[in-house]
Amino acid sequence: MAIDALLLSRIQFAWVVAWHILLPAFTVGLSCYIATLEVLWWIRKDPVYQRLSAFWIKIFAVSFGMGVVSGIVMPFQFGTNWSRFSAQVMDVVGALMAYEVLTAFFLEAAFLGILLFGRKLVPQWAHVFAAVMVALGTLLSSFWILAVNSWMQTPRGHEIVDGRFIPIDMLSVMFTPSFPYRLSHTVVAFLVTTAFVILAVAAGYLRRRRHLAESRVMLKMSLGFLSVTVPLQILIGDLHGLNTLEHQPAKVAAMEGLWETGRRVPASLFAVPDEQAEVNRFEIAIPALGSLYLTHEWDGEVKGLKEWPREDRPPVAIVYFAFRVMVGMGLLMLLIVVLGWVLHFRGRLYDAPGYLLLAHRAMPIGFVAVLAGWTVTEVGRQPWTVYGLLRTADSVTPTLTVTDVSLSLATYVVAYFLIFGGGFVLLRRMVRAGPKTAEQDESREPEARPARPLSAVTHSATPAPRQEADDAT
| DSSP letters spanning 57-88 | HHHHHHHHHHHHHHHHHHHHHHHHT-HHHHHH
Q: How far is CA 243 from CA 122, 290, 416, in A?
A: 47, 16, 35
Q: How confident is the model at residue 109, as a pLDDT?
A: 84
CA distance 138 to 128: 16
What pLDDT, on the 0 to 100 scale, is given for residue 174? 93
* Whole-number Å distance between alpha carbons of 36 and 29: 11
Cα separation, 142 vs 26, in Å, equals 12
CB of 400 closer than 8 Å to CB of 441? no
DSSP 401-433: -HHHHHHHHHHHHHHHHHHHHHHHHHHHHHHHH
User: Would you say 37 and 58 are in contact if contact means Cβ atoms under 8 Å apart?
Assistant: no
Phi, psi (deg, nearest 5) at residue 280: -105, 130
Parse the chain into domains and list their residue ranges: 5-246+321-472
- The answer to whether the bond into 75 is cis (omega within 30° of 0) is no
Compute the distance between CA of residue 241 and CA of residue 294 in angstroms, rounded to an integer.
7
Check residue 465 and give its pLDDT: 44
CA atoms of 73 and 7, how far apart (whole Å): 18
Q: C-alpha angle with apex 372: 76 to 85, nearest 5 degrees?
A: 30
Cite the DSSP H helix spans in 81-117.
Answer: 83-100, 106-117
Long-range CB pairs of 18-23 (<8 Å, 24+ gap) are: 18/371, 18/374, 19/70, 19/416, 19/420, 20/67, 20/70, 20/71, 20/73, 20/74, 21/370, 21/371, 21/374, 22/367, 22/370, 22/371, 22/420, 23/63, 23/64, 23/66, 23/67, 23/70, 23/71
List residues bridging with 386 in a β-sheet.
390
How many CB atoms neighbour CB 362 within 10 A? 20
- The answer to whether 234 touches 334, Cβ cutoff 8 Å, is yes
In single-letter form, the type of residue at position 267 comes to: A
Packed helices 124-153 and 179-207: angle between N→C axes, nearest 10 degrees? 130
Task: Give me the tens of pLDDT residue by residue for the chain, a chain 473 residues long.
Answer: 578 889 999 999 999 888 888 888 999 999 999 999 999 999 998 889 999 999 999 999 888 888 887 777 777 888 888 999 999 999 999 889 889 888 888 888 889 888 888 888 888 899 999 999 999 999 999 999 999 999 999 999 999 998 899 999 999 999 999 999 999 999 999 999 999 999 999 999 999 888 888 999 999 999 999 999 999 999 999 999 999 999 999 999 999 999 999 999 999 999 999 999 989 999 899 998 989 989 998 888 999 999 999 999 999 999 999 999 999 999 999 999 999 999 999 988 898 999 999 999 999 999 999 999 999 999 999 999 999 999 999 999 999 889 989 999 999 899 888 888 888 889 888 888 888 765 555 555 555 555 554 554 555 444 444 434 444 44
Query: 165 and 89 in contact (C-beta within 8 Å)?
Result: yes
